Amino acid sequence: MPSVRSTTDQDHAVFVDTLHAAFGRFPETPAEDGGGVWWAALERERCLLARAADGRPVGTAGTYAFELTLPGGSLAPAAGVTAVGVVPSHRRQGVLSAMMRHQLTELRAGGEFLSVLLASEAAIYGRFGYGPATYTRRLTVQRHQAAFAPLRVSAADGAPAEGARAGSVEVLRRAECGEILEGVYDRYRRAQPGALSRPPRWWAMGAGQPPVSRAPRYVAVHRDADGVPDGYASYSIGEPDTLTVDETIATDDAAFTALARFLLGHDLVAQVVFKHLPPEHPLRWQLADFRAGTLSGETDWLWVRLLDTPRALTTRGWFGDGELVIDVADPFLGEHGRHLLVVRDGKAECVPTGREPDLSLDVSDLGAIYLGGTAPSNLVRAGHIRAHHPAAAALADALFRAERPPHCLHWF
Ligand SMILES: CC(C)(COP(=O)(O)OP(=O)(O)OC[C@H]1O[C@@H](n2cnc3c(N)ncnc32)[C@H](O)[C@@H]1OP(=O)(O)O)[C@@H](O)C(=O)NCCC(=O)NCCS
């Protein structure tokens, strides 16, 4: 069995070198010099190094300390698992399993109740208790078909007030607007279930993907009538006449619509690709021609792993009243619990119970439904979750939904 232990500053070069070997790559700068900006963003005290019996470094894993927005708007500490790799010569010998066990045990001992990750391959993390909880996709709009439909209801009836509101869009370069992006993203992520915080030092260092990184980009910044930035779209134009939007971040639908109008009105562009659109986004419905936009690249994004079911369930907000008994199996950690969930007025109590269960499920499926982005009934139909009576799945669907589909576009 490999030995697993936390790294220190002295291990950084070995950590970076081992991780690159796992991916068959070489660091951007020599590992002894840090390996490049991305690796400088690692929280070294939260990294693990696995060594084989002969002392050779064979595996790496780490976590970032993020904040995750839960349904209802509460902000939860979330360990963001990253830098997972095992060198090719030592795979399928239990190195990752040993690191996952060590990591989950340490996180729990440190009082954390959930962890999250982005999976390079979907087959890896279910066995460790992670389930896909948010989804993302891209929308490609042909510009010659991109006219907006007239609004059918007025702003007074709840339509986005964008048409009536005096806002403005200014195009800046990424290098000159980092603070604006950081501020707008932070306001957005606090109201969006499934969104993660971006640590200030990531912005300061330019660690991550555009527009957090310093890659050259134009950024359309939207300001409200008072001149306060409330949205941005970071983009580049490439062949063949395609404007690709890395991310469109807006603190409300009106700002998003104003940015979409701006991007879709860009001259000398045949199509606009909106990356990272959440499920059930209104943009397609706003176009006069519903087929002007094509969805593609639908994929899972954030995977969630619960480490303390009662705490996780009582921390998120709820949108319907009801009672549900769930029987949760956690084979990786060798645990099992039966919980009575009682939801009233947006809050839940969760206590141990001996009552007959409504649903029996694996902790990975609880992670998948936790943010409201995966319907429990779908997992019942898929044969993942066992419903003990005909009404159980619909009851769980009604309870677990969020105020809007959870979405995450932060890459780590
Ligand atoms: C993915 C990776 C970390 C797995 O490490 P590992 O030490 O080989 O994993 P383990 O030996 O602990 O495997 C545990 C179980 O998961 C399975 N498993 C591991 N990786 C898998 C994969 N990519 N696909 C399917 N199953 C996988 C193993 O077969 C084993 O199953 P078993 O318990 O039924 O025998 C390693 O293959 C790797 O470094 N890959 C390249 C980098 C990468 O993809 N990292 C993940 C970034 S998110």
Write out pLDDT tens, residues 30-61. 999 999 999 999 999 999 999 999 999 999 99
Per-residue pLDDT at 158 exceeds 70: no
| Cα 272 to chain centroid, rounded | 23
Q: Is 125 a catalytic residue?
A: yes
Which is the CATH superfamily of the domain at 136-296? Gcn5-related N-acetyltransferase (GNAT) (3.40.630.30)
Mutation probe of ligand 1 site: the residue of 86, 103, 305 with most atoms within 8 A of C-beta: 86
- Pairing mode, strands 335-344 and 293-300: unpaired
Per-residue pLDDT at 409 exceeds 80: yes
| Ligand 1 close to Cβ of residue 23 (< 6 A) | yes
| Ligand 1 close to Cβ of residue 126 (< 6 A) | no
Indicate the residue type of 131: G
Which ligand 1 atom is the nearest neighbour of the CA of 118? 48
Task: Strand 359-362: give its sheet, edge to edge.
Answer: 347-352, 335-344, 322-330, 359-362, 386-387
What token pair was written down for 20? 């690159």
| Ligand 1 close to Cβ of residue 92 (< 6 A) | yes
Per-residue pLDDT at 164 exceeds 90: no
Please give the distance, rounded to the nearest whole angstrom, from the Cα atom of residue 40 to the centre of ligand 1: 26
Would you call 166 helix, strand, or coil by DSSP? coil
CA 74 vs CA 111, 191, 195, 249, 269: distances in Å: 17, 9, 11, 20, 41
Q: Are 399 and 320 in contact (CB under 8 A)?
A: yes
> What is the reported pTM?
0.96
| Ligand 1 close to Cβ of residue 58 (< 6 A) | no
| Ligand 1 close to Cβ of residue 123 (< 6 A) | yes
One-character DSSP codes across 289-306: SGGGEEEEEEEE--EEEE
Please report, for the chain, the start and end positions of each structural domain, with discontinuous segments joined by +: 3-112, 136-296, 318-400
Q: What is the pLDDT of residue 160?
A: 61
Closest by Cα among 312, 326, 325 to 116? 312
Indicate the residue type of 331: P
Mean pLDDT across 224-242? 96
Per-residue pLDDT at 157 exceeds 80: no
> pLDDT-based confidence at 211, cuts 50/70/90?
very high
The DSSP H or E segment spanning 38 is helix 37-40
* CA separation for the pair 167, 223 (Å, rounded): 6
Percent of the chain with pLDDT over 90: 95
Mean pLDDT across 147-155? 86
Which ligand 1 atom is the nearest neighbour of the CA of 97? 12
Write out pLDDT tens, residues 369-398. 999 999 999 999 999 999 999 999 999 999
Q: What share of the chain is helix, strand, coil (3-state, %, to 5)?
A: 30, 30, 35
Mean pLDDT across 70-93? 98
What token pair was written down for 322? 């009801």
Which class is domain 318-400? Answer: alpha beta
What token pair was written down for 399? 């309870």
> pLDDT-based confidence at 156, cuts 50/70/90?
low
* CA separation for the pair 199, 207 (Å, rounded): 10
Please give the distance, rounded to the nearest whole angstrom, from the Cα atom of residue 86 to the centre of ligand 1: 8
Q: What is the pLDDT of residue 1?
A: 84
Nearest CA to ligand 1 atom 40: 85
**HEC assignment per residue over 58-109:** EEEEEEEEEEEECCCCCEEEEEEEEEEEECHHHCCCCHHHHHHHHHHHHHHH
Please give the distance, rounded to the nearest whole angstrom, from the Cα atom of residue 91 to the centre of ligand 1: 7
Mean pLDDT across 263-267? 97
Q: What is the pLDDT of residue 153?
A: 84
* CA separation for the pair 197, 77 (Å, rounded): 10
| Ligand 1 close to Cβ of residue 168 (< 6 A) | no
Please check whether the two domains, 3-112 and 136-296, share a CATH topology: yes
Which ligand 1 atom is the nearest neighbour of the CA of 92? 11
Catalytic residue among 15, 64, 113, 125: 125
Q: What is the pLDDT of residue 316?
A: 98
Mean pLDDT across 111-121? 98
Beta bridge partners of 169: 222
Q: Are 78 and 371 in contact (CB under 8 A)?
A: no
Q: Name the burial class of residue 372, with classes exposed (0-12), middle (13-18) and buried (19+) by CB atoms within 10 angstroms of its CB.
A: buried
Write out pLDDT tens, residues 287-307. 999 999 999 999 999 999 999
Lowest mean pLDDT among 36-40, 210-214, 224-228: 36-40
Q: What is the pLDDT of residue 165?
A: 65
Fold assignment, 3-112 = Aminopeptidase (3.40.630)
Task: Strand 218-223: give its sheet, edge to edge.
Answer: 168-173, 218-223, 229-238, 242-250, 271-277, 135-142, 293-300
Q: What is the pLDDT of residue 95?
A: 98
Mean pLDDT across 111-133? 98
Per-residue pLDDT at 162 exceeds 60: no
> pLDDT-based confidence at 159, cuts 50/70/90?
low
Per-residue pLDDT at 16 exceeds 90: yes
Mean pLDDT computed over every residue of the chain: 96
> pLDDT-based confidence at 353, cuts 50/70/90?
very high
| Ligand 1 close to Cβ of residue 101 (< 6 A) | no
| Ligand 1 close to Cβ of residue 97 (< 6 A) | yes
Q: Name the burial class of residue 29, with classes exposed (0-12), middle (13-18) and buried (19+) by CB atoms within 10 angstroms of its CB.
A: middle
Q: What is the pLDDT of residue 154?
A: 72
